[in-house]
Structure 1
Amino acid sequence: MAKLLNIQSSMFQAGGQTSQLATKYVQNWKMNNPNGEVVQRDLAAHPIPHLDLDRFQAFTTPAEQRTSEQQAVADFSDKLIEEISSADVLVLGVPMYNFAIPSTLHTYFDHIARAGITFRYTANGPEGLLENKKAIIFIARGGYYGDDHAQSAFLRQFLGFVGITDVEFVYIEGLATGDEAKEKAVTAANERICELA
């Protein structure tokens, strides 16, 4: 059975542009995969704690040496990793905040980047362990930045680091430049969703 993991990071939750586009894609995916499973994770509604020293040490402490508090931290991270590792398709709604991804999404990444679990170091460099997945990323921006931007590069680099190299970006840009530009961008993004689905 096919499985899709939908990760939303807009502070506006379901009302955000990226959330709406991702939701439309998921609806189309469900029509084409009627027996498929969809897992939703809204990082604005249910934020993940920022990585601090105690959490990092919980990840790196051998399981048999963890305290109960450390084990609870590791268990939460393991749950997030199980969600993404069991998914065939990853759909991310990613608005641009101050030229970057939302901090809630970065924190999510901090909890799934675990050495020996989602990636490993080799003599030839790091090797991602989350393979055979497709990621579709919906990005909303107030201005025009295109694909050659640090935000896109970071997402591509991080996903590749954990083994997800089949990545498709759908941009909706110019949202702050006027109603006509916004309408045009939304229409183009919706057309791309139909093509992808």
Structure 2
Amino acid sequence: MSKKSLLVVQSSILADNGQSNVLAQALIQRWQETHVDSEVKVRDLGAEPVAHFDAATLAALMSAEEERTPEQAAVLAQSSQLIAELQRADHLVIAAPMYNFAVPSQLKAWIDRVVANGITFKYTDQGPVGLLQNKPVTLLATRGGMYKDAGQDFQIPWLKQVLAFIGLTQVEVVYAEGLNMAQQREASLAAAQAQIAALDL
């Protein structure tokens, strides 16, 4: 039997001081307690950013493999590696702080690399179809203010939509809101930690 695999995508620019990364580490510990003999891959986009999607990347994708320059091959090799990590994982965790009402640009760059026509989705006469084998996804959403119930959350609905587009529909969200509000911070973090401890991993 192959080892279970956890892929954790972190996107905070604050390293260990980022609360989304703190929650990610708590989930990793919970996972390792449940799956003693398992693999954990942490893709830290804050420490090692992924190149943003650009015209050069598009040109590489549209070029025949035998005609690609070494630079184009390198660009697509990174995309292939990220997609392989995602395909291999049994459980995906995305730690997403809110920056200016959206996900960090580092996370958007990762999304643009793994949403790939013909690999993680395809177009059909009935519309797009996700090609990834469905698997559980946990989103760790940290915010300085209170957005979830205020009609101002553009982050999690977008993440759920793009994940469903590539075939991932089993999504659970752990929220930690009000982290810049003195009366909310500790209670919100404690509630998020308790939710992680109770996850069915």
Find the counterpart in structure 2 of residue 131 from structure 1: 133
Are 2:117 and 1:84 equivalent residues in the alignment? no
Partner-residue secondary structure (3-state), 2:180: coil
Aligned to 2:77: 75
CA distance in 2, matches of 1:60, 1:168: 35
Q: Which runs of 5+ in 1 are unaligned?
A: none
Q: Which residue of 2 aligns with 1:186?
A: 189
Query: What CA deviation, in whole Å up to 9, does each residue of 1:141-188 have, x standing for no partner?
Result: 11111165211111001111111110111000011121x310100110
- 1:1-197 aligned within 5 A: 1-146=3-148, 149-178=153-182, 180-196=183-199, 197=201
Structure 1 residue 67, shift from structure 2 partner: 1.9
Task: Tell me how large the CA RMSD over aligned residues is.
Answer: 1.1
Shift of 1:92: 1.1
| TM-score, structure 2 normalization | 0.94
Scaled by the length of structure 1, what TM-score is found? 0.96
Partner of 2:184, secondary structure, is helix
Q: Matched residue of 2:119: which SS?
A: coil
* Equivalent residue pairs, number: 196
The structural deviation recorded for 1:28 is 0.8
Pairwise CA distance, 1:27: 0.7
Using the alignment, how far apart are the partners of 1:174 and 1:123 within structure 2?
44
Q: Judge conservation of contact 1:89–1:134 (CA < 8 Å) in 2.
A: yes
Secondary structure in 1 matching 2:139: strand
